[in-house]
Copies of this chain bind each other. A is one copy, B any other.
Amino acid sequence: MPRLVGQIDQVKSEAILDAASDVLGERGLGASIEAIARRAAVSKQTIYNHFGCKTALIEALVARRVSHITAPLRVSGAAEHPIETLTALAQTLIEIVSNERAYSLIRVTVQGAGAMPELAKAVFEAGPATTRALIADYLAAETQAGRMAVDDPMEAAEFFAGMCSGHRQFRALMGMEVNADPEQIAHLAHTVAKRFFRAYAP
């Protein structure tokens, strides 16, 4: 009877993580393991067999999710006019911030920041920090090519990300509704790109 095994039912592991994501998103970090077990249609003991303890479960959850969330950013666009690439970037960022499911994860991390600071740091590194670095790389390249004039790419990348998240981040964190109408998101993304390009045009 091993307490913690790797070669158990993969499907069940996924089901548990899905349920944990849902329940934690609804009830916050205070959600009980039993509630998660009920949602996953699994016994409490099974969760402990798979993950060992609550903290490990949450770490697994976060690890699985973070990479999914930032994945779309990694597909670097072709080299058209910067505004088009910036619009695509902005659109992805805004969609992330408007995505309730992604944000429930962030909320959990914020709540757990006191109890597990390493986790909070890992999320920050994998999420916002990586995102900023990707954007900064792009801005530096465009500057190199003479299509933009960005003196401090990291700083500019942060401005860009900040324009995208704006109050949506706050509202999402507060559990308030966030406008996720695709048309409005597209329009907003285009505006961000236009204004940002104007601020950093050669």
Which positions in A face B, CB cutoff 8 Å? 26-30, 107, 109-111, 113-115, 117, 120-121, 123-124, 128-129, 132, 152, 155-156, 158-159, 161-167, 169-171, 173-176, 188, 191-192, 195-196, 198-200
Contacts and interface: CB of A to CB of B under 8 A. Distances in A.
A174 B111 contact: no
Q: How many protomers of this protein does the assembly include? A: 2
A131 B200 CA distance: 26
24 contacts: A26-B114, A28-B111, A28-B113, A107-B110, A109-B174, A110-B173, A113-B176, A114-B175, A120-B176, A121-B174, A121-B176, A124-B171, A124-B176, A132-B167, A152-B191, A156-B195, A158-B163, A159-B162, A159-B163, A159-B192, A162-B164, A163-B163, A169-B169, A195-B200
Contacts of A152: 191
A165 to B, nearest CB: 6
A120 B161 contact: no
Nearest to A191: B155
B155 A159 contact: no
Contact of A120 (B124, B174, B191, B199): B174
A173 B112 CA distance: 10
